[in-house]
């Protein structure tokens, strides 16, 4: 039985937003040159995907795009709230826009994304960043044209940051950044409330898109030459729990795998408490699912995992990895880990190191704990000095670097079927490519290989990348 009813924005409501885009385009028709928009994105892939929707709306409104705030009629800053450091950087950049606004008083400055949904941030913008015209949270993104229309036709500021559980909006136009690789959101929000994490507070409750909408989107992408589709959700493994149809994430993968065409399916993020044997079996069976899994473990010690409200222990996590590797021995494994959770002692942290040695991840995303206002962990005692946390953090990074280098060295001499995905910015090499497990490969070759799968012989390796030849 569905455990909740997801609010779906009606097609008429989306149509109204799209109509407003066309009205805005007409308003701007009389300008000498087409107006430009700058969209800046911070944070995770979900934010990248949201920015593709913002650009889609902006393109329909008649905007071109620029990277230069001086040239921009409208600046949209899509923010991330996961750590304090990122927030400060954003606020610094938003603050600096006061100067561009002074020289272009009709510039519209918007702040959206997860930070916008934090009450303290919205309050701070209201009082101290008076050059910001529009603030809206992730749940209100579908109404962006309406906000811009109001700002263009009337004076004043808009704050649309009501705390709401969230909805599903289909039919928002998108301008995708990459023709070869695409993000496809399958669900939004999170119900897990890990004690350190702000995401459930700013992105609302879990809600799944209808499978037909997802399948249609992937089908169209593949027809247009996309070769690598990453399904996105804060916790993809709980996909479908709110749908009428009895379809779970593994079933969805199975359906996407049936779509004709030569392409890879990836997905993130999986929560270890919801990653099922059925998922592993589906991964092993479906030839288009890339042999890679991002499975954040966060900490190696059971007391800390409990305090983090993760709902699994070390033994369960290791057992999952064992079962996965029994089915897919060469699977590429990546993970997230937090160092310095409140009260974590150095011996407890060392269990994170031993977990790394046991699993030997191919790559790791390492985070120093950052207290987030409003989360339970932010209220806990945190006696460890920052220096000790940093020392532990460095030990972790050093160990992982060794493991990553060894993992990469094992590719030497092998031939990998790689997807060439872009031009390489490193002068020595012309192209970048990805192995099926998403390891970065630099190589030389003609530009027209971009978007193709090619066999690459791996001739070099370091901690961060592989090097190869066609």
Between vectors from CA 465 to CA 462 and to CA 467, what angle results, nearest 5°?
Answer: 85
Q: Which is nearer to ligand SF4, 241 or 271 (CB)?
A: 271
35 binds ligand SF4 per the rule CB under 6 A: no
> Is residue 114 close enough to count as binding ligand SF4 by CB under 6 A?
no
The Cα–Cα gap between 340 and 43 comes to 21
Angle of CA points 255, 211, 310, to nearest 5°: 95
Q: How far apart are CA 44 and CA 51, in angstroms?
A: 11
Contact 421, 441 (CB under 8 A): no
Q: By CB under 6 A, is residue 370 in contact with ligand 5AD?
A: yes
Looking at beta carbons only, is 159 or 367 nearer to ligand 5AD?
A: 367
Binding mask 58-97 for ligand 5AD (x = CB under 6 A): ------------------------xx--------------
Tokens coding 76: 């949209």
For residue 269, whether the previous peptide bond is cis, meaning omega lies within 30 degrees of 0, is: yes
Using rule CB under 6 A, residue 199 touches ligand SF4? yes
The answer to the question of residue 297 lying near ligand 5AD (CB under 6 A) is no
Give me the helix-helix angle, 119-128 and 84-103, nearest 10°. 30
For position 396 contacting ligand SF4 by CB under 6 A, the verdict is: no
Q: How big is the site for ligand 5AD, counted in residues (CB under 6 A)?
A: 12
Segment contacting ligand SF4 by CB under 6 A, of 8-16, 143-151, 187-195, 444-452? 187-195
Q: Which does 115 bind (CB under 5 to 8 A by kind): ligand SF4, ligand 5AD, none?
A: none
Q: Which is nearer to ligand SF4, 207 or 407 (CB)?
A: 207
175 token code pair = 């301008």
- Per CB under 6 A, 272 contacts ligand 5AD: no
CA 266 – CA 184 distance, rounded (Å):
10
C-alpha 376/C-alpha 366 separation (Å) is 21
359 binds ligand SF4 (CB under 6 A): no
Q: Which is nearer to ligand 5AD, 371 or 451 (CB)?
A: 371
Instruction: Give the residue, chosen from 46, 100, 208, 235, that forms a contact with ligand SF4 under the rule CB under 6 A.
Output: 235
Binding mask 251-290 for ligand SF4 (x = CB under 6 A): --------------------x-------------------
User: Phi first, then psi: what are they for 364, rounded to 5°?
Assistant: -140, 140
201 vs 191: CA distance, rounded Å: 9
Strand partners, 195: none
Q: What residue 234 binds from ligand 5AD, ligand SF4, none (CB within 5 to 8 A, per partner kind)? A: ligand SF4
CB 37 within 8 A of CB 76: yes
Alpha helices in 210-301 (DSSP H): 211-223, 249-257, 277-285
Answer with the entry of ligand 5AD, ligand SF4, none that 200 interacts with (C-beta below 5 to 8 A by kind).
ligand SF4
The mark string for 331-350 relative to ligand 5AD (x by CB under 6 A, - otherwise) is -----x-x------------
CA–CA dist 249, 279 (Å, integer): 8
Distance (Å) of CA 443 to CA 19, 179, 457:
46, 20, 10
Residues that bind ligand SF4 (CB under 6 A): 190, 192-194, 197, 199-200, 234-235, 271
Residues that bind ligand 5AD (CB under 6 A): 82-83, 196-197, 296, 298, 336, 338, 367, 369-370, 372
């Amino acid at each position: 039985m569905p455990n909740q009813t997801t609010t779906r924005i009606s097609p008429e409501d989306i149509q109204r937003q799209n109509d407003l885009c066309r009205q805005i385009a007409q308003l701007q028709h009389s300008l000498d040159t087409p107006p430009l928009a700058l969209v800046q994105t911070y944070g995770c892939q979900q934010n990248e995907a949201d920015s593709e929707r913002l650009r889609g709306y902006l393109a329909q409104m008649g905007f071109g795009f620029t990277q230069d705030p001086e040239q921009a009629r409208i600046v949209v800053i899509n923010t991330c709230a996961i750590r304090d450091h990122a927030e400060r950087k954003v606020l610094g950049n938003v603050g600096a826009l006061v100067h561009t606004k002074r020289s272009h008083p009709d510039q519209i400055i918007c702040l959206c994304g997860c930070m916008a949904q934090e009450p303290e941030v919205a309050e701070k913008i209201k009082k101290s960043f008076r050059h910001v015209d529009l603030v809206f949270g992730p749940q209100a993104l579908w109404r962006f044209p309406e906000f811009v229309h109001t700002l263009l036709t009337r004076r004043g500021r808009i704050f649309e940051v009501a705390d709401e559980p969230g909805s599903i909006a289909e039919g928002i136009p998108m301008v995708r950044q990459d023709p070869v690789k695409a993000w496809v959101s399958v669900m939004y929000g999170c119900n897990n409330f890990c004690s350190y994490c702000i995401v459930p507070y700013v992105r609302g409750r879990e809600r799944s898109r209808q499978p037909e909408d997802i399948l249609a989107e992937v089908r169209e992408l593949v027809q247009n030459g996309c070769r690598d589709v990453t399904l996105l959700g804060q916790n993809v493994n709980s996909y479908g729990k709110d749908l009428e149809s009895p379809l779970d994430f593994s079933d969805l993968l199975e359906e996407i795998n049936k779509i004709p065409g030569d392409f890879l399916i990836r997905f993130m993020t999986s929560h270890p408490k919801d990653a099922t044997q059925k998922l592993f079996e589906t991964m092993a069976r479906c030839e288009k699912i890339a042999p890679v899994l991002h499975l954040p473990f966060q900490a190696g010690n059971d007391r800390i995992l409990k305090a983090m409200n993760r709902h699994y222990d070390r033994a369960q996590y290791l057992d999952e990895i064992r079962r996965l590797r029994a089915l897919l021995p060469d699977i590429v494994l990546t993970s997230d880990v937090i160092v310095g959770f409140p009260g974590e002692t150095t011996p407890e942290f060392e269990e994170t190191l031993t977990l790394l040695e046991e699993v030997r991840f191919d790559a790791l995303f390492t985070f120093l704990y950052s207290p987030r206002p409003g989360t339970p962990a932010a209220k806990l005692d945190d006696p460890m000095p920052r220096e000790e946390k940093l020392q532990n953090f460095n030990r972790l990074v050093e160990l992982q670097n060794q493991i990553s280098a060894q993992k990469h060295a094992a590719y030497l001499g092998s031939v990998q079927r790689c997807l060439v995905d872009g031009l390489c910015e490193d002068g020595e090499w012309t192209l970048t490519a990805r192995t099926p497990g998403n390891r970065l490969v630099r190589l030389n070759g003609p530009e027209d290989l971009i978007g193709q799968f090619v066999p690459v012989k791996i001739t070099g390796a370091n901690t961060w990348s592989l090097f190869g030849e066609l």
